[in-house]
Structure 1
Amino acid sequence: MRGIPDDWPGYSPDLFTYPEHYSGALDCVYIPHGVIMDRTERLARDIMDDRGDHDIAVLCVLKGGHQFCSDLVDCIQVLNRNSSKSLLMTVDFIRLKSYLNDRSTPDIQMIGAESLSVLTGKNVLIIEAIVDTGKTMQTLLTHVRAFKPKLIKVAG
């Protein structure tokens, strides 16, 4: 997928409906919700094609990843219902904290990490909203690998 060029002016806010309290505050819309949902559905199709009939354990990284995870899982479930393949999914949650207020900290707290033994031997899909420096994701991947999953993929 091609990225958005640095000089992309975005779409005029006049093309969209948005809450009145944003009036005057929006210069442009870079990625409309419909485009995000189309890409999410495409990603769900890719996951279905890639995993086929192999079960998958979804690990949603909270707090930011909850909406993306929900949308992606919904798309996978719709495709699963309308497919000759059957993909069994389980969804678990983990919360990672690497910021205190608005500052990055060297330590990463994992909340919910004690229940990750369910990932042993599974195909794991980690769903994260934002991968910034990658430090938090690397820490999570190291932790998940300790449970010896069959496969790990990251969607974000």
Structure 2
Amino acid sequence: MGHKLTPFITGETIRERIDVLGREIVQSYENNEEPLVCICVLKGAFLFFSDLIRRVDRPMEVDFVRLASYGSATSRSEDVIFSKDLEVPIEGKDVLVIEDIVDTGHSMDFLLHVLKRRNPKSLKICALIDKHERRETGVQVDFAGFNLSEGFIVGYGLDYAERYRELDGIYELSTDAGK
């Protein structure tokens, strides 16, 4: 069985949207002189994170977290654990979590609860892809690159079994049963 990749969002369109997101984020925090703590959720958000923080023209600190779901390999798990925690303290600071995709919201809900216990001044989410129609939790994305309702997508950090992250654009992945 092979995979078919259908172009969905071009690299150029992503870069243009990131420019706009960068300006929106700067405007949102314009009355605060303190550094913004930008947190990258690994692995999927690393390309988006790298491009986005270069468009956010303001002082910042950066850090990384990695979440892991555990449970049956054949079903989506709502059980989430940290496999890499923050190193930067966030108490009393404005925090922006940067994620590749927020779908059902379970992982992000877990992360937000953990971060809120650390008493940040504010806590917002920026996601490259917001699948808000699939949300099963109350998680709200504050800055969304693109709103999608369906389709399995890869590229620009998003993967399927650790493949396709390196693609410049975003592609819809489908199974090509004929191969």
State the TM-score, normalized to the length of structure 1.
0.71
* Larger Rg computed on CA atoms: 1
**Which aligned runs of 4 or more in structure 1 are off by greater than 4 angstroms?**
99-102
| Matched positions, count | 123
Q: Is the 8 A contact 2:37 2:94 kept in 1?
A: yes
2-structure distance, mates of 1:59, 1:44: 15
Structure 1 gaps of 5+ residues are 1-24, 81-86
> Post-superposition shift, 1:114?
5.7
1:104 corresponds to which letter in structure 2? R
Q: Is the 8 A contact 2:98 2:126 kept in 1?
A: yes
Measured at CA, do residues 114 and 155 of structure 1 come closer, stay the same or move farther in structure 2, by a change above 3 Å?
A: closer
- 1:45-124 aligned at under 5 Å gives the runs 45-52=23-30, 53-76=33-56, 80=57, 87-98=58-69, 103-113=75-85, 115=87, 118-124=89-95
SS of 2:69's partner is strand
Identity over aligned pairs, percent: 35
Q: Is the 8 A contact 2:78 2:107 kept in 1?
A: no
Structure 2 gaps of 5+ residues are 128-179
State the TM-score, normalized to the length of structure 2.
0.62
Structure with higher strand content: 2
User: Which of 1 and 2 has higher RCO (CA within 8 Å, sep 6+)?
Assistant: 2
For the pair 1:43 / 2:21, whether they are aligned, the reply is yes
2-structure distance, mates of 1:152, 1:96: 18
Give the CA RMSD over aligned residues. 2.2
> Post-superposition shift, 1:105?
2.3
1-structure distance, mates of 2:70, 2:8: 27
2-structure distance, mates of 1:105, 1:146: 23
1-structure distance, mates of 2:77, 2:22: 33
